[in-house]
């Protein structure tokens, strides 16, 4: 089963299908009408369908909500799934590369052409998006989002719920605080405080 929201489930359905490891029962989405189809996968209804799906023996779910606008929306979906008795496996696209010594928690998703380096730790619900690079010994805390094309040098720590924007470069050993937001194309050479904001295209610190 895939839990989406507002029509955000399509790319993740492709990912699950390409893995060949799970049979997709359907999509649960509060923003789409029951009975339709998404990429040939049936729409089962909104959150009210979770109990029925679980009664059929389904125990795993994938959260297809992103969270760039507000990561709390993504977190709430994980909480709903857990409350309904579902576990969220980690998902690695077959065109991604994760070093054998890296560790991924449940709910983590690694997208096409992304790289996760040796001894890195990827927390629960983290997204490592398309062509992102997470170098060796990085720590990505729960619900962090690494956007397409971002590059994290070795030993970078990204706090819970932080957003690293598209094409961002983060230098060796830098710590990004919880809830911080790094704008697209920025270069981050020093630590960013919790809830801190680095403007798109900026060099931090100025």
CATH code, 55: 3.40.50.20
199-202: long-range contacts (C-beta < 8 A, 24 or more apart)? Answer: 200/165
Q: What is the 3-state secondary structure (H, E, C) of the chain?
A: CEECCCCCCHHHHHHHHHHCCCCCCCEECCCCCCCCEECCEEEEECHHHHHHHHHCCCCECEECCCCCCCHHHHHHHHHHHHHCCCECCCEECCCCEECCCCEECCCCEECCCCEECCCCEECCCCEECCCCEECCCCEECCCCEECCCCEECCCCEECCCCEECCCCEECCCCEECCCCEECCCCEECCCECCCCEECCCCEECC
Query: Is 206 inside a domain boundary?
Result: no
Query: Is 8 inside a domain boundary?
Result: yes
pLDDT of residue 9: 44
Q: How far apart are CA 79 and CA 23, in angstroms?
A: 23
Assess whether 128 and 196 both reside in one domain.
yes
Residue percentage of the chain with pLDDT more than 90: 67
CB 148 within 8 A of CB 162: no
Assess whether 16 and 94 both reside in one domain.
no
Pull the structure tokens for residue 16. 């699950």
Domain range for 128: 90-201
Assess whether 53 and 74 both reside in one domain.
yes
Assess whether 74 and 94 both reside in one domain.
no
pLDDT of residue 141: 98
Assess whether 118 and 194 both reside in one domain.
yes
Assess whether 147 and 68 both reside in one domain.
no
pLDDT of residue 32: 79
**Chain centroid, CA 125 distance in Å:** 5
Assess whether 95 and 197 both reside in one domain.
yes
CB 160 within 8 A of CB 123: yes
- Domain boundary (68, 83, 98) is at 83
Assess whether 78 and 105 both reside in one domain.
no
How many structural domains are present in the chain? 2
Condensed to tens digits (0 to 9), the pLDDT of residues 87-104 reads 999 999 999 999 999 999
- Domain boundary (83, 107, 137) is at 83
Q: Structure pTM? A: 0.88
- Domain boundary (83, 100, 132) is at 83
Residue 132 burial (10 A CB sphere; 0-12, 13-18, 19+): buried
Assess whether 19 and 103 both reside in one domain.
no
**CA distances to 4, 72, 98, 184 from 67, in Å:** 12, 7, 23, 15
Other CB atoms within a 10 A radius of the CB of residue 69 amount to 9
| Average pLDDT of the residues in 148-176 | 98
Of 1-5, 22-26, 127-131, the poorest mean pLDDT is in 1-5
pLDDT of residue 24: 83
Average pLDDT over all residues of the chain: 89
């Amino acid at each position: 089963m895939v839990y989406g929201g507002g029509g955000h489930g399509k790319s993740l359905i492709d990912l699950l299908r390409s893995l060949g490891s799970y049979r997709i029962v359907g999509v649960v989405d509060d923003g789409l009408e029951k009975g339709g189809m998404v990429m040939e996968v049936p729409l089962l209804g909104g959150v009210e369908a979770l109990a029925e799906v679980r009664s059929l023996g389904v125990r795993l779910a994938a959260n297809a909500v992103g969270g760039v606008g507000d990561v709390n929306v993504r977190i709430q979906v994980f909480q709903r799934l857990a409350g309904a008795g579902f576990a969220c496996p980690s998902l690695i696209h077959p065109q991604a590369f994760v070093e054998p010594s890296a560790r991924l928690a449940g709910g983590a998703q690694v997208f096409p052409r992304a790289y996760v380096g040796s001894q890195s730790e990827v927390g629960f619900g983290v997204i490592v998006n398309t062509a992102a690079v997470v170098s060796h010994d990085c720590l990505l805390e729960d619900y962090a989002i690494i956007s397409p094309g971002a590059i994290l040098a070795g030993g970078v720590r990204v706090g819970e719920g932080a957003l690293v924007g598209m094409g961002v470069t983060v230098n060796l050993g830098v710590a990004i605080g919880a809830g911080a937001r790094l704008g697209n194309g920025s270069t981050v050479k020093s630590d960013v405080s919790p809830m801190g904001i680095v403007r798109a295209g900026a060099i931090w610190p100025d």
